[in-house]
Amino acid sequence: MNDSHSNKQNTIEQVKSSALETTQRLSNQVLISGKLTNALSHQSFDVIHPGDLSVIGSAPMCTEADVNAAVESAETAFHKWKKVPARDRGRMLQKAADYVEKNSVLLEQVLALDTGNAIRTQARPETASSIDLLRMFGGLAGELKGETVPSGNSQVLQYTTRDPIGVIAGIIPWNAPLFLFVAKIAPAIAAGNTVVIKTAEQAPLCVLLMAEMINTELPAGVLNIISGFGEQCGKPLVQHPAIRKVTFTGSLEVGQAISGYVAPKLCPVTLELGGKNPSIVMADADLELAVPGIIDGMRYTRQGQACTAGSRVFIHESIYDQVIDGVVKKLAEIKLGNPLDEQTDMGAIISAEQFKRTLDYMEIAKKTPDARILFGGNCPTDAYLSRGYYYPPTLLDGLSLESRLCQEEIFGPIATVLPFSKFDEMIDAANNTPYGLAANLWTRDLSRALEYIDRIEAGFVQVNQCVAPRSNVSYGGLKMSGLGKEYALDSMLNHFTCSKTVLINPGTPNQNL
């Protein structure tokens, strides 16, 4: 081992051991009534770093008793929080954003350890965009306004109010845990609600750390965090009678189950679910944009673990080989490695379960007679990488549109390529899944682009680029990809407020005055 290599290893180990002090400190804790405390449940589960399968801490396996304590804390806080003027609430969130920003280095390290996402390409930008989203909703708090409705009679006043709902339950996944956490809590809290979040069992510690930081600027009980599993903790949380609104990101199946759990109490639900998104390259596309766009769109550097991943790549047959060549060359440059290493582009898959899911889909591909592996497709053999859940960026073709790989959300680093010749057939094929989340198209023909925008069944539609969802840009899916929008003003107004319509007739003026 040469000196620079061993210096680098030392730095990575130092980063890990200092972040581990924090993950140990946060172990077995919940955030209730403004304080980190032991859970009532005495059971806990290990939190594993997917990069080397080391145990970085543990988290409580909360059950109904902890749910009740967290909801009670939020209910108590709600009575005061709703009376705090909206812009003051917003200012507190903005101060919280400043505080998180000051401590962001630790947060991105814990995020990388918790998720296995590479620090340079994922954990750092996710931390920055989460802070940005928190700050943005703080600034939007002044937009919580009702409307006046002209009555035609100067003596009758008609208006609507914009009020907080109460205690909100949020259930989040692990793939972008900080951003999705902020997307739930920031609009809810700015609007005067209080919140109980159940973290994902795969990545609970980074969210608890960010919540601890935000909590320093909020009254006790406004933000509460519990951890645990779906049936045991998530289900009693959403079913709790005091929960009047649920916001969820995760799988279609769990989104459907949650909708069912809360249907008897007519509780509204915002759902951000899966996708099987098309990335389409037309014959006239600018390949300087399209080739890197396919790779960015597939979110390979997040191991493909994104609901917007452009995992079905439609390429016009006239440029098929050229595009594949370009993409394969760039995939070969992606460096798989230790998530804490600044040189790493792509880290590890989150868990044994998701790793197996990727391997199982590859087994199906390998058994399909005409399927070709254009890149990747096998576990790395390197000694370090064999220690964790690493899998290379993988590109396949020769699979039919009906194949499970072209229909189901893999949520791993596998994309399938499908050639096309006719625009109409391609659009039908692109729409031929139950999902409708994101879509990307590359063309120089504006008229075709407009036709695609009209016909594609997706809620987040891009042309000649493929950027990740971001602050201030409303985002959400059609069809089975979800219900409702997030990340922008409309999500706060439409999902986290309720309204009264008021009609006032003051009566006849006193004629003696």
Query: Using CA atoms, how far apart are residues 40 and 233, in angstroms rounded to an integer?
Result: 12
Q: Which is nearer to ligand NAI, 272 or 486 (CB)?
A: 272
Q: Collect all residues with Cβ–Cβ distance below 8 Å to 463 and sequence separation of at least 6.
A: 440, 441, 442, 443, 449, 452, 453
Residue nearest to ligand NAI (CB): 230
Among 90, 221, 274, 377, binds ligand NAI (CB under 6 A): 274
Q: Which stretch binds ligand NAI (CB under 6 A): 133-141, 184-192, 224-232, 398-406?
A: 224-232
Is residue 273 within the footprint of ligand NAI (CB under 6 A)? yes
Query: Using CA atoms, how far apart are residues 397 and 371, in angstroms rounded to an integer?
Result: 6
Q: Which is nearer to ligand NAI, 39 or 319 (CB)?
A: 39
Consecutive H or E run containing 350: none
Among 52, 272, 397, 457, binds ligand NAI (CB under 6 A): 272
Q: Would you please indicate which residues are annotated as catalytic (active-site) residues? A: 272, 307
Q: How far is CA 181 from CA 47, 211, 234, in A?
A: 18, 9, 15
Angle, vertex CA 370, rays to CA 368 and CA 374, nearest 5: 100
Q: Which is nearer to ligand NAI, 257 or 453 (CB)?
A: 257
Instruction: Say what angle helices 205-215 and 3-25 make with each other, to 10 degrees.
Output: 60
Query: Using CA atoms, how far apart are residues 123 and 145, in angstroms rounded to an integer?
Result: 35
Q: Which is nearer to ligand NAI, 173 or 376 (CB)?
A: 173
Query: Using CA atoms, how far apart are residues 423 and 408, in angstroms rounded to an integer?
Result: 23
CB neighbours of residue 8 within 10 Å: 16
Q: Which is nearer to ligand NAI, 250 or 310 (CB)?
A: 250
Amino acid at 182: V
Is residue 411 within the footprint of ligand NAI (CB under 6 A)? yes
Instruction: Write out the binding residues for ligand NAI, residues 127-186 only, by CB under 6 A.
Output: 171-173, 175
The 225-264 site mask, x for binding ligand NAI (CB under 6 A), equals ----xxx--xx-------------xxx--x--xx------
Instruction: Write out the binding residues for ligand NAI, residues 180-199 only, by CB under 6 A.
Output: 198
Q: In 154-193, which ranges are E strands?
A: 157-160, 163-164, 167-171
Shortest distance (Å) from residue 311 CB to ligand NAI? 10
Is residue 454 within the footprint of ligand NAI (CB under 6 A)? no
For residues 163 and 492, the answer to whether their CB atoms sit within 8 Å is no
Is residue 395 within the footprint of ligand NAI (CB under 6 A)? no
The 351-390 site mask, x for binding ligand NAI (CB under 6 A), equals ---x--x---------------------------------
Binding site for ligand NAI (CB under 6 A): 171-173, 175, 198, 200-201, 229-231, 234-235, 249-251, 254, 257-258, 272-274, 307, 354, 357, 409, 411
